[in-house]
């Protein structure tokens, strides 16, 4: 049987994103008698009461938007193959075939169909550096629309928790390092991807507003550069590691050198999609903050593009020449992110070593060459 109730939250007026001082679930009967008392008690202080209804259907029914992509497939693997799914839970993985989330009618219809209690929101217009530079307007508008459709529909349907996906590339361009979760809005993003960045930053703004006005506990994660099976390996539009894997594999089969765009000097923290999938399931179950959390390997595990391409060459047994086209742009030279917050929660989480994760991804790419996104 579907049960419902009301969540009462005390919110600090000057620091609305601050974790609530008091937070409890009451059924409607108890709630009615107590709200006035609570309100009177808190009027003279800097707190106000927010109350909203929630649905409680027992085990979670989790809707994953963008479930057919790199990160969605990794979560599916963790949930279905690694025992991540608990008894009675239902996990639904969506793609554009189920609903075009740019369209509010289709978004509502798919939420009506599955009535989720929890949402992992991954769907986005994503791409590599060169596509971003060409299409900042599309990245801005499409992502604003998708995110607003998903968050507002989740709110209207009483979804208990939404976990959305930001990215470490949305941080200010001119900043101090390492960057952390508190610095998202501290300055302009890099020029190359400002459309995508501002759209993603608005998710954090919306999460704060849904919490302040309605007490919704919607949050966001900030992964660094993700790679793994089911990535987009397209040489022009793919992410850097996957595009380089495809380039190197091609060069090997054609007996030509590999040409890397730029100097190879920029440094990046890469996270294997399966590690990210495991962390996302943890965030969904355990992380209670509205403020986002960076999901990244440690700072000392950051590598240069040159080091990464050498690992790829090793994994694919490529013996040819690796050359760098220094006439092409590098993008941001570094964007070192701190995972100190994650480490406070999960000090012992073990990331797959980069060389091992690159080898697994290259093996998947070669084995699935005919169907992989190239
Ligand atoms: N990859 C990274 O390095 C990285 C880093 C940081 C953050 N992120 C974030 O992680 C999330 C997932 O990224 P990903 O790398 O897994 O992307 P991906 O492999 O390109 O997958 C994108 C997913 O979004 C879906 N989608 C796109 N437009 C849609 C629309 N209009 N309606 C419904 N679904 C739509 C796609 O469905 P179809 O398969 O049907 O097209 C696909 O399932 C994104 O929010 C991204 O910004 C990614």
Structural domain of 21? 3-50
Ligand 1 pocket: which of 63, 64, 92, 122 to mutate (most atoms within 8 A of CB): 122
Mark which of 19, 34, 50 sits at the end of a domain.
50
Distances in Å between the Cα of 40 and the Cα atoms of 26, 43, 282 are 18, 5, 37
Domain co-membership, 318 together with 232: yes
pLDDT at 38: 56
pLDDT at 129: 75
Q: Is 216 helix (H, G, I), strand (E, B) or coil?
A: coil
Domain co-membership, 110 together with 18: no
Q: Which atom of ligand 1 is nearest to the CA of 196?
A: 47
**Widest distance between CA atoms in the chain:** 77
Q: Which atom of ligand 1 is nearest to the CA of 71?
A: 16
- Residues pairing with 65 in the sheet: 121
Residues of the chain with pLDDT under 50: 1-3, 5-6, 11-14, 16-33, 44-54
Q: Tell me which residue of 193, 364, 208 sits closest to 273, measured CA to CA.
A: 364
CB distance 293 to 253 below 8 Å: no
CB distance 33 to 26 below 8 Å: no
The beta strand positions in the chain, using DSSP E, are: 3-12, 23-26, 47-56, 61-65, 90-93, 118-121, 161-165, 219-223, 225-227, 258-261, 267-268, 270-272, 293-295, 303-304, 322-325
Mark which of 14, 31, 50 sits at the end of a domain.
50
CATH number at residue 199: 3.40.50.720
pLDDT at 146: 98
pLDDT at 133: 85
Q: Tell me which residue of 137, 193, 195, 233 sits closest to 331, measured CA to CA.
A: 193
Using CA atoms, how far apart are residues 222 and 218, in angstroms rounded to an integer?
A: 14
Domain co-membership, 42 together with 68: no
Domain co-membership, 38 together with 164: no
Distances in Å between the Cα of 249 and the Cα atoms of 4, 128, 130, 273, 360 are 54, 19, 21, 21, 14
Q: How many CB atoms lie within 10 A of CB 122?
A: 24
pLDDT at 3: 47
Domain co-membership, 65 together with 8: no
CA of 323 to the centre of ligand 1 (A): 31
Q: Does some domain include residue 92?
A: yes
Domain co-membership, 266 together with 356: yes
Q: Which 8-state DSSP code applies to residue 63?
A: E
Using CA atoms, how far apart are residues 230 and 232, in angstroms rounded to an integer?
A: 7
Q: Edge-to-edge, what's the strand order for the sheet holding 161-165? A: 90-93, 61-65, 118-121, 161-165, 219-223, 293-295
| Residues with active-site annotation | 196
The residue assigned the tokens 């610095």 is 183
Distances in Å between the Cα of 89 and the Cα atoms of 18, 153, 277 are 31, 21, 17
Domain co-membership, 298 together with 352: yes
Domain co-membership, 279 together with 146: yes
Q: Does some domain include residue 373?
A: no
Handedness of CA 303, 305, 310, 312 (dihedral sign): positive
Contacts for 109-113: CB closer than 8 Å, 24+ residues apart: 110/63, 111/63, 111/153, 111/154, 111/157, 111/159, 112/157
pLDDT at 252: 95
Strands 322-325 and 258-261: parallel
Rg of the chain taking only CA atoms, in angstroms? 22
Domain co-membership, 40 together with 175: no
Q: Does some domain include residue 160?
A: yes
CA of 49 to the centre of ligand 1 (A): 36
Tell me the pLDDT tens digit for each residue of 258-293.
Answer: 999 999 999 999 999 999 999 999 999 999 999 999
Using CA atoms, how far apart are residues 63 and 107, in angstroms rounded to an integer?
A: 12
Structure tokens, 213:
């006005």
CB distance 299 to 351 below 8 Å: no
Domain co-membership, 155 together with 29: no
Q: Does some domain include residue 374?
A: no
The total number of structural domains that make up the chain: 2
CB distance 7 to 211 below 8 Å: no
Using CA atoms, how far apart are residues 262 and 134, in angstroms rounded to an integer?
A: 17
Q: Tell me which residue of 181, 334, 166, 339 sits closest to 266, measured CA to CA.
A: 334
CA of 53 to the centre of ligand 1 (A): 30
pLDDT at 19: 42
pLDDT at 245: 97
- Residues pairing with 334 in the sheet: 267
Which residues are near ligand 1 (CB < 6 Å)? 66-72, 95-97, 100-102, 122-126, 146, 165, 167, 223, 225-226, 232, 239
Domain co-membership, 46 together with 64: no
CA of 76 to the centre of ligand 1 (A): 14
Its pTM stands at: 0.87
CB distance 333 to 174 below 8 Å: no
Domain co-membership, 23 together with 110: no
């Amino acid at each position: 049987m579907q049960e419902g109730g009301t969540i009462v939250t005390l919110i600090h007026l000057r620091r609305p994103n601050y974790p609530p001082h008091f937070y409890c679930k009451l059924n409607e009967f108890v709630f009615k008698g107590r709200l006035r008392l609570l309100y009177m008690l808190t009027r003279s202080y800097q707190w106000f009461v927010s109350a909203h209804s929630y649905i409680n259907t027992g085990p979670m029914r989790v809707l994953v938007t963008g479930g057919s992509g790199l990160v969605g497939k990794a979560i599916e693997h963790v949930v279905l193959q690694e025992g991540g799914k608990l008894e009675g839970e239902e996990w639904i993985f969506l793609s554009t075939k189920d609903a075009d989330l740019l369209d509010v009618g289709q978004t509502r219809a798919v939420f009506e169909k599955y009535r989720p209690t929890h949402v992992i929101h991954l769907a986005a217009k994503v791409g590599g550096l060169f596509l971003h530079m060409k299409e900042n307007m599309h990245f801005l508008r499409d992502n604003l629309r998708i995110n607003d459709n998903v968050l507002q529909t989740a709110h209207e349907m009483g979804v208990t928790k939404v976990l959305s996906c930001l990215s470490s590339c949305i941080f200010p361009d001119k900043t101090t390092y390492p960057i952390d979760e508190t610095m998202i809005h501290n300055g302009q993003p890099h020029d190359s991807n400002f459309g995508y960045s501002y759209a993603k930053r608005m998710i954090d703004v919306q999460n704060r507003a849904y919490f302040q006005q309605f007490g919704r506990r919607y949050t966001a994660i900030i992964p660094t550069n993700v790679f793994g099976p089911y990535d987009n390996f397209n040489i022009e539009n793919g992410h850097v590691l996957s595009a380089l894997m495809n380039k190197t594999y091609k060069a090997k089969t054609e007996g030509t050198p590999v040409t890397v765009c730029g100097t190879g000097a920029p440094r990046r923290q890469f996270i294997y999609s399966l590690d990210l999938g495991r962390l996302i399931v943890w965030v969904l179950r355990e992380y209670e903050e509205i403020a986002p959390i960076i999901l990244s390997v440690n700072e000392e595990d950051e590598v240069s593009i040159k080091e990464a391409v050498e690992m790829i060459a090793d994994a694919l047994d490529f013996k040819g020449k690796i050359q760098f086209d220094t006439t092409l742009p590098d993008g941001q030279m570094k964007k070192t992110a701190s995972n100190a917050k994650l480490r406070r929660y999960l000090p012992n989480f073990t990331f797959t070593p980069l060389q091992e994760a690159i080898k697994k991804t290259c093996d998947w790419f070669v084995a699935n060459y005919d169907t992989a996104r190239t």
